[in-house]
Amino acid sequence: DVISQGGGRIASLSAESHKILNRRLEIDRKMYTALDRNTLQVAYQPQLDIKSNSINCYEALIRWEDEELGVISPDELIPIAEENGLIEEVGAFVAEEAMTFATKWHRAGTEMNISINSSIRESLNPQWKNRLLSILNETGCPANKVSLEFTEKFALKAEEEQSVITQMSELQSLGLQFTLDDFGSGYASLRYLQHLPITSIKFDRVFIDTLLSNSKTQQLIEGMIQFSKTMNLYTIAEGVRNEQQFELLKEMGIDAVQGHFIGKPVPAEQIEIK
Ligand code: C2E
Ligand code: MG
Ligand code: MG
Ligand code: MG
């Protein structure tokens, strides 16, 4: 590893980068035990469907707090897990929790969807589909209650894309849905949209942030909503923080909204299953 390779290199790092590097190494090291001991958690954020004016979905978001490292945000954790290969373990953990949660609703006689963030790296494994199927089986979760959210972080190679499409299509035929998350923030969103079996798009929070102050953003979102209707896509806005944003998005014809205005992510215990 980097530390043992050369004290000289480390010594030349500034105190600040040394701290960052150390934290990364600690997160990497502690992730194994956290997975083993089940100390990772999942929070759920509601999503409001405009047409029915009700919460129709909860998004599962990973949470990790360590005694020494404090809160480790998903934005820190996920890239490290993608690098050290634990992303599949992390993904399976979140999927198990979230599907168990959805099953509770189902057994209570309420139809509630759950949305699980997934790294496209997980789908590159040919066993991806089968692992998901066995989690659905174990938890008793109906496949049509689950959607997986992908962020377009990078473009897929042609052969990777083919394997992902094949597995996704099989999952879709069982009822699973796919959402393109953080839409508009990456480089490959239109390519993903064109090739992957996606049925919803979630506009990135940066667009919602500037919606009220920037007329171009308004036109862009309005146009994207119209385009989505033509494409038969369900549209979601994330990061909605106030009533003005909410009303404007509704006027524009958005299908669903999510954000602190609707509800913050909370542990499952704090959600009443009706
Ligand atoms: P995301 O999927 O786009 O999730 C939305 C993020 O925005 C969440 O941050 C959520 O807590 C935050 N958020 C929601 N509403 C508001 C709001 O009104 N205002 C503001 N300022 N923030 C809001 P979080 O939980 O830190 O997650 C960050 C990202 O990490 C997620 O973005 C997702 O891409 C990724 N992530 C989270 N959990 C998982 C997971 O289990 N697996 C994978 N692969 N990625 C995950
Ligand atoms: Mg998401
Ligand atoms: Mg998002
Ligand atoms: Mg995001």
For residue 43, give the ligand 1 atom closest to its CA: 25
Helix axes 158-173, 128-139, angle to 10 degrees: 20
Cα dihedral 211/212/217/220 (nearest 10): 80
Ligand 4 centroid to residue 237 C-alpha, Å: 12
* pTM of the predicted protein model: 0.94
Q: Is the pLDDT of residue 41 over 80?
A: yes
In degrees and rounded to multiples of 5, residue 127 shows phi and psi of -90, 0
Ligand 1 pocket test, pick from 48, 61, 87, 244 with the greatest ligand atom count within 8 Å of Cβ, gives 61
pLDDT of residue 148: 98
Structure tokens at 103: 């099953």
Ligand 1 centroid to residue 219 C-alpha, Å: 25
Structure tokens at 137: 């089986």
Residue located via tokens 């953003």: 217
List the single range of 15-19, 46-50, 126-130, 142-146 with lowest mean pLDDT. Answer: 15-19
Ligand 3 is a single-atom ion; what residues have CB below 5 A from it?
Answer: 181-182, 238
State the average pLDDT over residues 136-154: 94
Query: Length of the chain in residues, anyone?
Result: 274
**Between residues 74 and 151, which one has the greater pLDDT?**
74
Ligand 3 centroid to residue 2 C-alpha, Å: 33
Q: Which ligand is nearest to the CA of 183?
A: 3
State the average pLDDT over residues 102-106: 97
pLDDT of residue 217: 96
Residue 5's pLDDT band (cuts 50, 70, 90) = low
Q: Which ligand is nearest to the CA of 239?
A: 1
* Interface predicted TM-score (ipTM): 0.98
Percent of the chain with pLDDT over 90: 83
Q: What is the mean pLDDT of the chain?
A: 93
Taking only the tens place, the pLDDT of each residue in 179-231 is 999 998 887 788 889 899 999 999 999 999 999 999 999 999 999 999 999 99
Q: Is the pLDDT of residue 9 over 80?
A: no
State the average pLDDT over residues 43-56: 98
Taking only the tens place, the pLDDT of each residue in 52-69 is 999 999 999 999 999 999
pLDDT of residue 274: 85
HSE of 127 in the Cβ direction (CA atoms, 13 Å)? 6
Q: Does 135 sit in the ligand 1 pocket, CB within 6 Å?
A: no
Find out whether 118 and 149 touch, Cβ atoms under 8 Å: yes
Q: Is the pLDDT of residue 267 over 80?
A: yes
Reduced to 3 states (helix: H, G, I; strand: E, B; else coil), residue 83 is helix
